[in-house]
Amino acid sequence: MILPALFFYLFAGVCVASAFMVIAAKNPVHSVLYLILAFVNASGLFVLMGAEFLAMILIVVYVGAVAVLFLFVVMMLDVDFAELRQGVLQYLPVGVLVGVVFLAELLLVAGAWVIAPGMPQAISAPTPSTMTNTEALGRVLYTQYVYYFQAAGLVLLVAMIGAIVLTLRHNPKAKRQNISDQVARTKETAMEVVQVKSGQGI
């Protein structure tokens, strides 16, 4: 019992410290690296909770794709962060309001056992011992919440298509393939016979 508690305090402490350094670091590259460290420690917490599927998704999706994409964008784009920080104090009241709301939610979650002691047992459904965590999650997603899952996928698809359409820029000078013109080609339009005299070029 002591070893899981030690790992919990280790992962939680490093996760909180790295999350603080994400917003405290002056170098944006260091912020992204601290973000990756926070994701790794959060996945360790998921493993301690028995949610190995969420831990794997956190590593593969967030660390392997999202955080690496952030790092790539930050390192490749020459962004003047000193200019971006100008006027940031005008958003401070909104940030404080959002922070207070998040703090109230965390306090409600942490104190739920005081307000309603039976609430955690009512929310959680026990997983059969013969079923893995991944299988149980798959059964819930594709049976009870299959329509919501498909609707979320459709929303993400529409968002991806919209982002592509909004950022697509056509260059009028670039040559593009036109299938109808290629199919409609004939021998007369596709070939040109040139009579070249002997010993002369075209």
Hey, where are the domains in the chain? 1-78, 123-167
Q: Which pLDDT score is estimated for 117?
A: 66
Q: Which pLDDT score is estimated for 1?
A: 66
**What tens-digit pLDDT sequence spans the chain (202 residues)?**
688 888 889 999 999 999 999 888 887 778 888 988 999 999 999 988 888 888 888 888 888 887 777 777 777 766 666 666 676 678 788 888 998 998 998 888 777 767 666 665 655 555 666 777 778 888 888 888 889 989 999 999 999 898 888 877 777 777 777 788 888 888 777 777 778 887 776 5
Task: Write out the H or E segment, with its range, that includes residue 146.
Answer: helix 146-167
56 closest CA partner among 40, 36, 67: 40
Q: Which pLDDT score is estimated for 79?
A: 63
Q: What is the pTM of this model?
A: 0.57
Q: Which pLDDT score is estimated for 123?
A: 56
- By CB atoms closer than 10 A (0-12, 13-18, 19+), residue 39 is buried
- By CB atoms closer than 10 A (0-12, 13-18, 19+), residue 25 is middle
Q: Which pLDDT score is estimated for 154?
A: 94
Sign of CA dihedral 126, 105, 55, 7: negative
Determine the Cα–Cα distance for residues 61 and 48; give it in Å rounded to an integer: 19
Q: Which pLDDT score is estimated for 13?
A: 92
Hey, what CATH topology would domain 1-78 get? Four Helix Bundle (Hemerythrin (Met), subunit A) (1.20.120)
Q: Which pLDDT score is estimated for 124?
A: 57
Q: Which pLDDT score is estimated for 174?
A: 74
The Cβ-side half-sphere exposure at 188, using a 13 Å CA radius, reads 0
Q: Which pLDDT score is estimated for 97?
A: 93
